[in-house]
Structure 1
């Protein structure tokens, strides 16, 4: 990158993006605002100097940098920013985007420091040949880190067909835009619509009344349809999610490789230690889970395309459901299962979306010397392990004398919840222990009490440790 030598330059920062007017050769003791006020009258004369001293970037070049505390200070909100110079030609539609760890925005100014565009990705139609200023700014005073600054010229297409593997940049003006797509070979495909000026929305229709729609499946208000498509002619309708939209969008259709052995299983029997890949396209998928030996099992449904949801049903009214216990919108059910047949349903949390998922069933080994007790009597100063599967577990605690009782319920699998009930009072706790563990400390009179161990949510499940301690204390019954 070329660099020009220059006098000192000061920019006033506004709204998280470096913005303002130039002040040449400003004394260090001046504030940015004062400098801006003094420079207003000479803006037309001095403004081109805003380009002097800046690293020069070339359109189409990828620049790597890092925003640190050494960057120029935005006096308005404390964020930092860096400036670059770029030469643009009249009639070009340019895109300047920011990627990487830095949470920030890009701003484009002309050589008179008039703000033209500001966003994570800037699109601008150049009306005049000349030099411009690009500013990379942190989102706030805590935003630092490495970044990549990308720039390119966008060649807009008015084609009415989209080829698989060849993205198309186009312009939406009004209600919608229809594009034809031909699928020659059956397989998994991903169609995406990305836009920065409006909320993208995709519709895909095809043979045998095929129809899919998506709003934000690709994140950041971008649309994505992932599905298994049969050969044939399809119509893509690209539009804004809310009424008419105007702006640049990118439309693409890409084939997707099937994982593992390339086989999809959307029904059938599942056994412990099985892992399979399936495809959700709007309809619930049912599997038969066969458990031959009683024990602890964990069932996971993972996907980068959809918000996974699992339902497990068995005999005697057994029912477990889970949405996000696996993290990152993945579903997970961990429970102690008796021998028998179970109905396992894989779907999405809201019944919408489409995409690939992985389903696995794995036995879980109990730690050495661990015995599960899910009911019975509690003895002061003992510790036991149990298994929560969605239903509250009840224990009985008998005190021979007035005592200061401490109950602790700990689990690495779910958010615990403790309840203590007596003849005339009751107590409860959610997160009184470490993290999401529960802890109760209460002075109690002699008598029999009920201790209930459960999860804060009925969707949680897993192993827990319940500990009870009691120390004699002076406490008299109420008169």
Structure 2
């Protein structure tokens, strides 16, 4: 039987190589870091090397009690990351170089809970092989609450570990409430229930943070904090803020909208639904203005649909305006905050009746069998007087290679619209018309296109 012999020098070299590859940090070679303290360090070309990516690192040891939550913060010139290892050298977690919510943008934060008492090792690593420089690292004990009562003005820290946490909120005076769950470790997911309200949110707080902004009446409410994706363990902050309500007669969170009567609403999360009644063919202008949110409007009804984001006259460029010619009918108006910020807005509808014969005066005339070629300017709508000599079924086509065509037909008591029924991006109206004169409007969808188009009028 053959045997192999390994010299002492070779054995030492092999052991050193394996140790360097594993690089499990040990407490004995680490600088001390106590809870509540800040330590300073610097990564240089003489610092140990992470063989994985060539970055440098320095370690610190800190003693934690079982179930103690610690927030570790890295700041300074170094572009780096934090990682924490348990008493047995096992990997606990890493900051991945992400700034933490609520801290300076040049700080990196790692928050973890100790599963057992013992000495933990914190590693400060450069972001890459070229990252060097001085840094500060601090450790702070965090008091967490996984449930109980919260009141307006509270901002508490909680810890999730595979199960949601529930808090109770007692509202004594009605108000506008911001309830936010923020985390630098989790994709926050927030639920609110009580007094006929049941709502939830994932990312309205910006990034992966959750926020519910709504009006709450006096009563008892349940707040549930959770997570939206696979990461189910980590810290978060839960804050509750109350803002005073406007006067009771000014706040209208949906319902009937009357011409010339401005209303104040609160947009957050789901759109608010308003109803607008138009009794005769009218020119309608609806403005949604706010100093706090990015306004958004959608209007639908009588086969017609309009939407707008930023066409309002406000100086911020974030107000919404819909200008439309509407036939008689009941219309649904949705007012929303497209930016997800949540806040107050004012809504005003102005409905002005239109004299159709007067509106048709001087417009280009189209008849049965007409074929008309034209060019649509950016943001414009072309109007025509359509003369129907005999009642019957008619097909009206708008075709274009340059724009997304849209057609709307009006009489004194009806309206019809179409976008893509002509195939592709062409518009087609196929309907029965009585003898008379109509207003035909040719435009691009959302008023965003321009270019040449053709109109064809045929009796079927």
Per the normalisation by structure 2, the TM-score is 0.54
Distance 1:247 1:420 in 2: 54
Residue 211 of structure 1 corresponds to: 92
Does residue 426 in structure 1 map to residue 316 in structure 2?
Answer: no
Distance apart, 1:280 and its partner CA: 4.3
The aligned runs of 1:182-197 (5 Å cut-off) are 182-183=62-63, 188-192=70-74
Distance 2:145 2:117 in 1: 20
Distance apart, 1:403 and its partner CA: 2.0
Distance 1:222 1:445 in 2: 58
SS in 2 for 1:335: strand
Distance 1:385 1:440 in 2: 18
Distance apart, 1:428 and its partner CA: 0.8
Does residue 269 in structure 1 map to residue 149 in structure 2?
Answer: yes
Distance 1:181 1:306 in 2: 23
Aligned residues: 309
Does residue 439 in structure 1 map to residue 321 in structure 2?
Answer: yes
Deviations 1:61-108 (A, max 9, x none): xxxxxxxxxxxxxxxxxxxxxxxxxxxxxxxxxxxxxxxxxxxxxxxx
Residue 120 of structure 2 corresponds to: 234
Residue 335 of structure 2 corresponds to: 453
Q: 1:411–1:465: 8 Å Cα contact kept in structure 2?
A: yes
Q: 1:169–1:249: 8 Å Cα contact kept in structure 2?
A: yes
Residue 465 of structure 1 corresponds to: 346
Task: Identify if the C-alpha distance between structure 1 residues 188 and 295 changes in structure 2 by more than 3 Å, giving closer, same or farther.
Answer: same
Does residue 160 in structure 1 map to residue 10 in structure 2?
Answer: no
The aligned runs of 1:48-447 (5 Å cut-off) are 160-164=29-33, 165-170=38-43, 171-175=47-51, 177=57, 179=59, 181-183=61-63, 188-192=70-74, 200-207=80-87, 211-218=92-99, 223-227=108-112, 232-239=118-125, 245=129, 248-250=132-134, 252-256=136-140, 263-270=143-150, 272-273=151-152, 275-280=154-159, 286-291=165-170, 295-301=174-180, 309=188, 311-314=190-193, 318-321=198-201, 323=203, 325=205, 332-337=211-216, 339-345=219-225, 351=231, 357=237, 359-433=238-312, 434=314, 435-447=317-329
Distance apart, 1:246 and its partner CA: 5.3
Distance 1:353 1:451 in 2: 41
Residue 367 of structure 2 corresponds to: none
Distance 2:158 2:247 in 1: 38
Deviations 1:406-429 (A, max 9, x none): 101223453322112232321111
Task: Identify if the C-alpha distance between structure 1 residues 356 and 390 changes in structure 2 by more than 3 Å, giving closer, same or farther.
Answer: closer
Q: 1:191–1:224: 8 Å Cα contact kept in structure 2?
A: yes
Distance apart, 1:367 and its partner CA: 1.7
Task: Note the residue ranges of structure 2 that are not aligned, 5 or more in a row.
Answer: 1-27, 357-409, 412-437, 440-460
Q: Which moved more, 1:401-410 or 1:305-314?
A: 305-314
Distance 1:398 1:304 in 2: 45
Per the normalisation by structure 1, the TM-score is 0.53
Distance apart, 1:449 and its partner CA: 2.5
SS in 2 for 1:173: coil
Task: Note the residue ranges of structure 1 that are not aligned, 5 or more in a row.
Answer: 1-158
Note the aligned Cα RMSD (angstroms): 4.1
Q: 1:265–1:276: 8 Å Cα contact kept in structure 2?
A: no
Task: Identify if the C-alpha distance between structure 1 residues 248 and 160 changes in structure 2 by more than 3 Å, giving closer, same or farther.
Answer: farther
Distance 1:218 1:298 in 2: 27
